Chains A and B, each alone.
Chain A
Amino acid sequence: KNEVEQSPQNLTAQEGEFITINCSYSVGISALHWLQQHPGGGIVSLFMLSSGKKKHGRLIATINIQEKHSSLHITASHPRDSAVYICAVKRDTGNQFYFGTGTSLTVIP
């Protein structure tokens, strides 16, 4: 079983829709990252969270430490948001991150 589980695995939305991607983890963590990966492209770090909520433009990320759950929301989605979104957690012991397998988002005009 993966330490990090994401849902859904694939998501198709119409332009303008509100999108939610979920991440659950099973280990104690010191931080959680949301990453964005475009096809054939590099990886961009969107947020690093250890508690609460962060907002950047149309992106909002929340984390509930007690429930071991985080969500990434995209408001007013746009085709350029089409990408794979990856949840990664930094364990509270050791040096490595554990990654979810990603959510592939396609936004249709």
Chain B
Amino acid sequence: NAGVMQNPRHLVRRRGQEARLRCSPMKGHSHVYWYRQLPEEGLKFMVYLQKENIIDESGMPKERFSAEFPKEGPSILRIQQVVRGDSAAYFCASSTTQISRGGGYTFGSGTRLTVV
């Protein structure tokens, strides 16, 4: 039973390109959370999704960022027209149920995005 799988582990993009980050939750987990860790800063919540639904995107920048969790396949965090300030580690976590109900919570290894 593999854990939360994120790919790629490292991603380099030139300014203006698109970045696509993938997260496959643990088997049986239907809740996905995306977090961003900027250099020298703590983790910040971005978005919470269930299958085919965005539940809470209060942490997502209003422009260029989008997330989805389709019925089949991994969750995707998409960043359009990347800028240097998007360089960060992006972590995905998944859970069986909403965390407030005590569901198990597992992190992926992260994707390190570097914008050059």
Contact = CB atoms under 8 A, between A and B. Distances in A.
A23 interface: no
SS class of chain A's interface: helix, strand, loop or mixed?
Answer: strand
B65 interface: no
Contacts of B41: 101
Contacts of B100: 30-31, 90, 92, 95
Contacts, number: 60
Interface string B73-92: 00000000000000000010
A100 B91 CA distance: 15
A25 B97 CA distance: 24
A99 B43 contact: yes
Interface residues of B, number: 23
Given A41-B109, A44-B107, A96-B56, A88 B102 contact: no
B55 interface: yes
B77 to A, nearest CB: 15
Contacts of A88: 43
A10 interface: no
B98 A95 contact: yes
Q: Which of A42, A48, A101 has the most CB of B within 10 A?
A: A42
Q: Which 3 A-B pairs have the closest CB atoms?
A: A42-B109, A96-B45, A43-B107
Interface of A: 2, 30-31, 33, 35, 41-45, 48, 50, 86, 88, 90, 92, 94-102
